[in-house]
Amino acid sequence: HYNFCAGPAALPTLVLERARDELLDYQGRGLSVMEMSHRSEAFVAIAERAEADLRELLAIPDHYRVLFTQGGASLQFAAVPYNLLGAGGTPNFLHTGIWGKKAISEARHLFGAVHLAASSEENGHSAVPRQEDIVLSEDAAYLHYTANETIGGLEFDYIPEARRPDGTPVPLVCDMSSSLLSGPLDVSRFGVIYAGAQKNIGPAGLVVVIVRDDLLDQARGDMPSLFGYKTLSEAGSMVNTPATYSWYLAGRVFDWLQRDIGGLAAMDAINTRKAARLYAAIDGSGLYANPITLRNRSRMNVPFVLADPGLDRPFLEEAEAAGLLNLKGHRSVGGMRASLYNAVPEAAVEALIDFMADFEKRHG
């Protein structure tokens, strides 16, 4: 079976096998990782190794802190403004789809004014705003955007510049839930990066936050203490009991990326091939279509529609019977979506393409 779920997504089979082999007894300690104290020497070693591996994978500069926190990416929609609005100012946003909109709604709900620096709403979220169309407010506190819109299948092909109209730079904040670790990244361009784990990192619930250390002192005084990047950082992400098992599995995934795949450049090449193969099959067919501008097509989430929506059901039923799971599009947009995260092997894409061609021959 191949799992094309958008999230929680497939985990690498090798990682699951390794976790299985040490599920009951972690390296001869007679305990499962799940049962260990987060303060134990064994768990602290797991946690430190996970951070070190992530730092190596992404070449994270020393002046960035890495946090392993909880509450899903959605909790960061609140945590980001709490952490960055201590000196006032207005949160600025790029609106490119459903996840960006949720981040905007949460900031507005909590703190009132937000500024839309650019939006792709006018083009139906089929192309991201260009740099020259991004206009921050005079009092911008930061600029937030969503690198890859998981539902729309719309991905930035560049890292935006975040400057007020007078040229003052402000922190760039990015929700990378569905793209972090899909390839190399210049972390130094960002103030805050966050990602829910359940796509390319590990189990749902865990969140990775990468924050530049000069931003640790920008928080509002009324912030819930568990939201605080500084508090989390000073406590080694152990303010309360962390999601220990998820953290351990994330570490296993980092290890797999580094040592089995060969790092993010190698992962990037695989992901580019997978997406190119699937988009070519869609574009070359008479039955399937994807509406996104070429340069903004997501490598991780490939939505497509069938020319006859009456075929949606048979497509999904036959796909499932063929072992191709979770291809149904998000309930808000319909159609199909194939998510091609790191753990989805190239053979899965080949199997999907073969199935799609065969289905078109029979029904097209």
40, 70, 74, 258: residue in contact with ligand PLP (rule CB under 6 A): 74
3, 4, 7, 274: residue in contact with ligand PLP (rule CB under 6 A): 7
**293 annotated as belonging to a binding site for a ligand:** no
- Residue nearest to ligand PLP as judged by C-beta position: 72
Q: Which two tokens stand for residue 299?
A: 């490598």
Query: How many CB atoms neighbour CB 183 within 10 A?
Result: 17
Judged by CB under 6 A, the stretch of 49-57, 173-181, 287-295, 346-354 that binds ligand PLP is: 173-181
Q: How far is the CB of 335 from ligand PLP (least distance, A)?
A: 17
Judged by CB under 6 A, the stretch of 12-20, 69-77, 235-243, 305-313 that binds ligand PLP is: 69-77
Q: How far is the CB of 54 from ligand PLP (least distance, A)?
A: 18
Binders of ligand PLP among residues 109 to 168 (CB under 6 A) are 146, 150
Query: Any contact of residue 218 with ligand PLP (CB under 6 A)?
Result: no
**74 annotated as belonging to a binding site for a ligand:** yes
Largest pairwise CA distance in the chain = 63
Q: How far is the CB of 362 from ligand PLP (least distance, A)?
A: 33
Q: What is the 3-state secondary structure (H, E, C) of the chain?
A: CEECCCCCCCCCHHHHHHHHHCCCCHHHCCCCHHHCCCCCHHHHHHHHHHHHHHHHHHCCCCCEEEEEEECHHHHHHHHHHHHHCCCCCEEEEEECCHHHHHHHHHHHHHHCCCEEEEECHHHCCCCCCCHHHCCCCCCEEEEEEECEECCCCEECCCCCCCECCCCCECCEEEECCCCCCCCCCCHHHCCEEEEECCCCCCCCCEEEEEEEHHHCCCCCCCCCHHHCHHHHHHCCCCCCCCCHHHHHHHHHHHHHHHHHHCCHHHHHHHHHHHHHHHHHHHHCCCCEECCCCHHHECCCEEEEEECCHHHHHHHHHHHHHCCEECCECCCCCCCEEEECCCCCCHHHHHHHHHHHHHHHHHHC
Phi, psi of 304 (to 5 degrees): -150, 155
- Is 175 among the catalytic positions? yes
Judged by CB under 6 A, the stretch of 44-52, 68-76, 121-129, 160-168 that binds ligand PLP is: 68-76
Q: How far is the CB of 72 from ligand PLP (least distance, A)?
A: 3
Q: How far is the CB of 298 from ligand PLP (least distance, A)?
A: 10
Nearer to ligand PLP, 7 or 303 (CB): 7
Nearer to ligand PLP, 208 or 215 (CB): 208
82, 99, 288, 355: residue in contact with ligand PLP (rule CB under 6 A): 99
Query: Any contact of residue 73 with ligand PLP (CB under 6 A)?
Result: yes
Query: Any contact of residue 246 with ligand PLP (CB under 6 A)?
Result: no
Query: How many CB atoms neighbour CB 289 within 10 A?
Result: 14
- Is 101 among the catalytic positions? no
Judged by CB under 6 A, the stretch of 11-19, 174-182, 237-245, 341-349 that binds ligand PLP is: 174-182
Annotated binding site for pyridoxal 5'-phosphate: 73-74, 99, 150, 175, 198, 240-241
Annotated binding site for L-glutamate: 39
Tell me the catalytic residues: 99, 175, 199
Residues in the site for ligand PLP, rule: CB under 6 A?
Answer: 7, 72-74, 99, 146, 150, 175, 177-178, 196
